[in-house]
Amino acid sequence: RAQPAQQASPGGASQSPAMPQASSSRVVELPSMRDYQLGPESTRATFTLLDAQVSPRSSEKDSLRLQVRMTNHDRFDHPFWDRSFRLIIDGGVPVAPESELVELVPAQSAKEGAVIFSIPHGTPGGELEINYGDDKTSVPLVFAAKTK
């Protein structure tokens, strides 16, 4: 099970360049704890949720875009990729990301990346599952109706 990491300051997280926003984009309500430590002590990594939004993709589908930072605390490089994430919606349906995040995080450093899911239009929320080695955690996400 994940262990809470030290809380990142709201203004301290670096943001990626802003993407064009559709007028009907929805804010994703992130939990107050945004840092999740996973893995055994010797190969521990911290996953930090930096930002999230839902925007229209088509009349039937929306895109959920999560900006995530992986901090590698190990002395060896580790992969940071889509296969570490699943979105659980509709009472248990796992959805794999459609983005192509495939990075190698050098030892004792961090990288940021976007994880993008295609979800049915109007989905009210879900559980983000983060897997790292034999460890995993679930993070509740609520897709608010208000626009950014």
Closest among 7, 4, 10, 12 to 36, alpha carbons compared: 4
Per-residue pLDDT of 46-95, as tens digits, reads 999 999 999 999 989 999 999 999 999 999 999 999 999 999 998 888 99
pTM of structure: 0.79
Q: How big is the chain by its Cα radius of gyration, in Å?
A: 15
- Whose tokens are 């509709």? That residue is 90
6-10, 38-42, 68-72, 92-96, range with greatest mean pLDDT = 68-72
